[in-house]
Amino acid sequence: MKKTDLLIILSVLVVGVLSLVGFQIYENQTSTGNQYAQVIYHDQLILMIDLDSNQYILYDTEFMDDIDVTRASEGIYYVPGAITSDMTTLYEVDGYAEENGIVGIKLQVADGKISVVYQESPKDLCQLQAPTNSHLTPIVCLPNELVINVLTNLSSDQFVPDAVLE
């Protein structure tokens, strides 16, 4: 490899890193201090969670009966997943899920970040994504048709907790 090629690659990497840092600084400056996770399933917003207080909005959709927010105070939410149906592994470690016959994806909010704790997908890639609290790093689980976006610019008066909306 030529010296000029290495310099070009290094320059591109430096620009990329500086751009990412710049986006993160911008996100921090425009942030309202409130962070909310939007859970989208089959292209429909089904649940929004305040990442600091675990309060939530459960939206009136056709999937509403497949969402379990009983453990919201613990930061645990169960939502539907397109291909997640074999719950054997989850039932071994989660008695609540087994007792209540929950079928779907288990989400967890901890330390102001949201993550996928259990789901089924090829190579479990959805579950391997790091917990996030940034709109720059959404959680995307394409096989399960689930996307979790984090909003950092929503004011607290735009979030009405523990409500069912139509």
pLDDT tens sequence for the chain (166 residues): 677 877 788 788 888 777 777 766 765 555 556 899 999 999 999 999 999 999 999 999 999 999 999 999 999 999 999 999 899 999 999 999 999 999 999 999 999 999 999 998 888 788 889 999 988 899 999 999 999 999 887 665 555 554 444 4
Q: What is the pLDDT of residue 163?
A: 45
- Which amino acid type is present at position 91? Y
Place of tokens 């394409």: 142
Q: What is the pLDDT of residue 77?
A: 98
Name the strand (E) or helix (H) holding 139. Answer: strand 139-141
Provide the total of helices (H) and of strands (E) in the chain, helices listed first: 4, 9
**Three-state SS at 17:** helix
CA angle 51, 55, 57 (to 5 degrees): 105
Cα 78 from Cα 72, distance rounded (Å): 9
Domain boundaries, the chain: 1-30, 34-165
In CATH terms, is domain 34-165 a member of 2.170.140.10?
Answer: no
- Which amino acid type is present at position 31? S
Q: What is the pLDDT of residue 147?
A: 96
Q: Indicate the pTM of the whole model.
A: 0.77
Q: What is the pLDDT of residue 127?
A: 87
DSSP structural state of residue 162? T
| C-alpha of 20 from chain center | 20
